[in-house]
Structure 1
Amino acid sequence: MVEGVNIDFFDVVIEAFLLEMPSRLESLRSALARGDAAAVRAQAQSMKSGGVFIGIGRFAGLCRELEALALTGDTAGAGGLVSEIEAEYARVEQDLWRRLGR
């Protein structure tokens, strides 16, 4: 246990992250399909922040890469990175639900 921190708080944050991710991933795919680099960047930034906060480094790193790519205004070639993000999320999702006892 982290001194002075209620571990239940982390579980609440993890659950919120898990419950939000399907719609975030859908919004990310939609923004990518529209070629909306600003929306792709915003989704990637939000997903990165959540990943950093709960400690899923590879996921956060992939989101950081996508954020940087979208910052250039160009989403060409981002589809492969989005697929990697989705695959990494699918990998960690099960572990996170297990941590919550589900």
Structure 2
Amino acid sequence: MVEGVNVDFLSIVIEAFLLEMPSRLDSLRSVLARGDDAAVRAQAQSMKSGGVFIGIGRFAGLCRELEALALTGDTAGAAGLVSEIEAEYVRVEQDLRRRLGM
């Protein structure tokens, strides 16, 4: 894990990430369907921050791409990127659960 970081604290943060991410992904799909670019950006930014904090770079990078796209005000083609984020989350979730012994 991360040097100098309390392992129990990191485990709690990862568990919280895993608990809240499915609803964040649902919310992301919902705001994308509504065409609410500002909400898409906010949701992507929040998800990116969580990914950066726990060190899941590809997930965070995909969220960063979506955030940048939403900032342009044109998320019409973002559904494919959201699908990539969801697929990466599934992979990351399995890995994190395995590492935590869940």
TM-score range, shorter chain: over 0.9
Structure 1, gaps ≥5 residues long: none
What secondary structure sits across from 2:96 in the alignment? helix
1:20 maps to amino acid = E
* 2:24 aligned with 1:34: no
Task: Normalising by structure 2, report the TM-score.
Answer: 0.96
Alignment of 1:52-91 (within 5 A): 52-91=52-91
**Aligned structure 1 segments of 4 or more residues deviating by more than 3 angstroms:** none
CA distance in 2, matches of 1:90, 1:9: 23
| CA–CA separation in structure 1 for the residues paired with 2:39 and 2:96 | 26
Q: CA RMSD in A?
A: 0.9
- 1:24 aligned to 2:17? no
State the one-letter code of the partner of 1:35.
G
Paired AA for residue 63 in structure 2? C
Distance in 2 separating the partners of 1:31 and 1:100? 31
**Aligned residue pairs, count:** 101
Task: Please tell me whether residue 100 in structure 1 is matched to residue 100 in structure 2.
Answer: yes
TM-score by length of structure 1 reads 0.96
CA distance in 1, matches of 2:99, 2:8: 11
Give the equivalent residue in structure 2 for 1:9: 9
